Amino acid sequence: MKILYILGSYYPAQSGGPNNTIHWQAKYLSKEDVDVYVASLKTGLSKDNINNYNIELNSKNKIEGVNVYYFNYLINRYLSLKFYYWLFSNIKKFDFVQLTSYFFPVTWFGALICNIHNVPFSVAPRGELEDNALKYRRTVKLALHRIILKTIYKRAKFILVTSDQELKFSRQYFNNKMVFELIPNYIELSINRELSKTDVLNKKNIIFLGRLHPKKGIDNLIEAYFSLDEVIINNHLLLIAGTGNFNYLSYLKKLASNSKYSNRVVFVGHKQGIEKEEFYKKSKVFVLPSYSENFGNVVLESLSFSTPVISSKYTPWKNLESNRCGLWIDNNPNEIMKAMTRILTMKESDYMEYSTNSHKYVQDRFDISRKILNVINVYKKYL
């Protein structure tokens, strides 16, 4: 079986969740003797990434067993003639093509070429069809869907969704004949180790990690933090990691500066690699107050390092409650404040239970090394 993944950014870049989850999927498919190729743009690659992995743009690279092409572009990432030419020339050589994103032009082109050569393909919207995601440039996106995209994607073998929530939102944009397959974003656990009791009980601080964008609801988190009891604030910083929308970042910094506790809110910038792992390991609780998440890879990352999670009801993480590894709450400052207070003031034995359950939950349900055959079986159905 020869599979091609097409996306806008790929590991070791760290500009979005698919960078890692698609890499782990491709990596473990390769271990099962699947011939995997990835065609991506250079978006998100740092100079260190290029040097450490000996990456050559516009040529084939071997990244942890996966054949990867990173294409250069002119002016912006929509103008990569070499990428389009490579897709035009090579898509017909593959048994199956997995397209990532719904509104990205490279995805449209890939689907068009698949249609021309009758190559089986699927589309993963990655949350782009959720109501709160469509609030941004809604008119343009829906016009594209009606006029162009629903016709191009009509012959997809299936639509790949990562959660029941994404399935619910996505169904309304396709006819009743369209097939949906649910494959969660599995995570590689080989580098993650369950923490010792001492490490767990030494955890401190409240963290957020992700793209800084209004849909993430980080302003609600900051307001909630300032409503906490003074003793909690003095014992736990609020650390916000990530980059993104400049105007939103400016707004968040202004919001934080309006409190007498402004020095307790720290914007720590982008985290990746070992630095990101340490960030999770040493933190007491991770909060994701997002208004739209089809999945939320950061939730699994946090849990895998034994750090409980508080996630909003706009995310598909209701099971945090039943598995006693976090809380699933309404997205407003008061509810976020109460949830943080509950986690941060738990008895040591209760927090230890939540922390232990966090790692176990990921290990049992989302470890890619245990779940890769599920992925293979889905693709084999449509060859």
How many Cα atoms are found within 13 Å in the side-chain-facing hemisphere of 25? 23
Chain segment 98-130, per-residue pLDDT in tens: 999 999 999 999 999 999 999 999 999 999 999
Which residue, among 71, 69, 70, 150, has the nearest Cα to 103 in the 3D structure?
150
Average pLDDT over residues 51-61: 96
348 in Cβ contact with 183 (< 8 Å): no
Whether the per-residue pLDDT at 362 is higher than 80: the answer is yes
User: In whole angstroms, what is the distance from residue 315 CA to residue 298 CA?
Assistant: 12
Q: What is the mean pLDDT of the chain?
A: 94
Task: Report the SS3 class of residue 160.
Answer: strand
69 in Cβ contact with 36 (< 8 Å): no
| pLDDT at residue 159, rounded to an integer | 97
Average pLDDT over residues 331-342: 98
Whether the per-residue pLDDT at 288 is higher than 80: the answer is yes
Question: Which alpha helices (DSSP H) does the chain contain, by range?
Answer: 17-31, 47-52, 81-90, 105-117, 131-134, 138-144, 150-152, 164-171, 197-201, 218-226, 230-235, 246-257, 273-281, 297-304, 319-322, 333-344, 348-365, 368-380
CATH class of 2-188+367-380: alpha beta
CATH 3.40.50.2000 in the chain, residues? 2-188+367-380, 197-365
How many Cα atoms are found within 13 Å in the side-chain-facing hemisphere of 76? 4
| pLDDT at residue 136, rounded to an integer | 83
- What is the H or E stretch that residue 170 is in? helix 164-171
Write out the two tokens for 137.
Answer: 């440039």
Chain segment 177-235, per-residue pLDDT in tens: 999 999 999 999 866 677 889 999 999 999 999 999 999 999 999 999 999 999 999 99
Whether the per-residue pLDDT at 76 is higher than 90: the answer is no
| pLDDT at residue 169, rounded to an integer | 93
| pLDDT at residue 78, rounded to an integer | 82
Whether the per-residue pLDDT at 36 is higher than 80: the answer is yes
Write out the two tokens for 117.
Answer: 């050569």
Q: Could you tell me which residues come within 8 angstroms of residue 10 by beta carbon, excluding any fewer than 6 positions away?
A: 18, 19, 22, 23, 38, 40, 68, 70
Average pLDDT over residues 247-262: 95
User: In whole angstroms, what is the distance from residue 372 CA to residue 377 CA?
Assistant: 9
pLDDT-based confidence at residue 273 (cuts at 50, 70, 90): confident
Which residue, among 255, 226, 220, has the nearest Cα to 331 in the 3D structure?
220
Q: How many CB atoms lie within 10 A of CB 76?
A: 8
| pLDDT at residue 15, rounded to an integer | 83
Which residue, among 11, 368, 371, 12, has the nearest Cα to 191 in the 3D structure?
368
- What is the H or E stretch that residue 98 is in? strand 96-100
Average pLDDT over residues 248-255: 96
| pLDDT at residue 192, rounded to an integer | 67
Whether the per-residue pLDDT at 342 is higher than 70: the answer is yes
Instruction: Return the CATH architecture of domain 197-365.
Output: 3-Layer(aba) Sandwich (3.40)
| pLDDT at residue 191, rounded to an integer | 67
